Amino acid sequence: MESIHKDLVVLVRLQDVYGRIAKAIQDRQSPPPEVQQLQEANRSRQLELDQLEEQVRLVEDELDQVHKREEEWQLELEHFQRQKGTVTNEREFTAVISEIDYANKALTEARQRRAELEESVERLRQDIASRRQARPEEESAQREVVEGWERRKSELLEVVHQLSTEAEHLETELQPKIRARFLRLLKSKKGMAVAAVVEGSCSVCHFAVRPHLRQRLRRCEEIITCESCFRILYLEEIIDRKSTGASSG
């Protein structure tokens, strides 16, 4: 009887410890709202910077192409201007003048487009520079929140280490078969391997525990499991009373 009672007491404590471990891990993986907002804001700002830099790259690529066209049309214009001095009749002169006019027009358009693109690149670069210059101020304002969260994560990690040590110690107090059974249930039942019987039912799945099983639970002579969810059952009043009695003795 005393052995089973001790095992049940340890199982209840062990489940509580594992529950606190899971909670500490979950808390550590879940930044508070203010940190999440900062992280989202940082991601958004970085995305905007990446998009601006991509725009600069695209404009610079087009600028290179326009510059090449400008050089080509400049060469074309110089060619026809030289050819104008070699014409021998009015028809050839008219054709050359037409080519010169067309080259002049294309060259003017290329120069105008180049000026637009250069202005666009300069504007984008200034925007990027101003955003980057603002970052140190933003980061300074955020540092206190971020450092506070980092301290909290360190504290939670220490809690996990301490609780894990406690769990290891408790597990050594269990009979090997019961320990193995508990750990299997803990994994398959999502952290709830042990359940109290409350008002005649399993407190987890709410399946009614038959009267003769409740009597066996009161005697505390064996491990009893729920007939529905197969969790290990216990009566809080029996464990509390026996624990108090053992402490008084």
- What residue segments make up the domains of the chain, in order of their start? 2-26+175-248, 31-170
Residues 190-240 have pLDDT tens digits of: 999 999 999 999 999 999 999 999 999 999 899 999 999 999 999 998 887
- Three-state DSSP class for residue 197: strand
- Three-state DSSP class for residue 198: strand
> Which CATH number is 2-26+175-248's, of 3.20.20.70, 1.10.287.1490, 3.40.1390.10, 3.40.47.10?
1.10.287.1490
Residues 56-92 have pLDDT tens digits of: 999 999 999 999 999 999 999 999 999 988 888 999 9
**What value does the mean pLDDT take over residues 103-132?**
93
- Three-state DSSP class for residue 233: strand
Q: Could you tell me the pTM of the whole model?
A: 0.62
User: Is residue 232 exposed (0-12), middle (13-18) or buried (19+ Cβ within 10 Å)?
Assistant: buried
**What value does the mean pLDDT take over residues 26-43?**
85
Residue 197 has φ and ψ, to the nearest 5°, of -95, 120
Rounded Cα distance, 95 and 23, in Å: 86
Say if residues 72 and 180 touch (Cβ distance below 8 Å). Answer: no
| pLDDT at 136 > cutoff 70 | no
Per the structure block, which two tokens stand in for 110? 């290329």
Q: What percent of the chain has pLDDT over 90?
A: 73
- Helix residue spans in 85-223 (DSSP H): 90-172, 176-188, 211-219
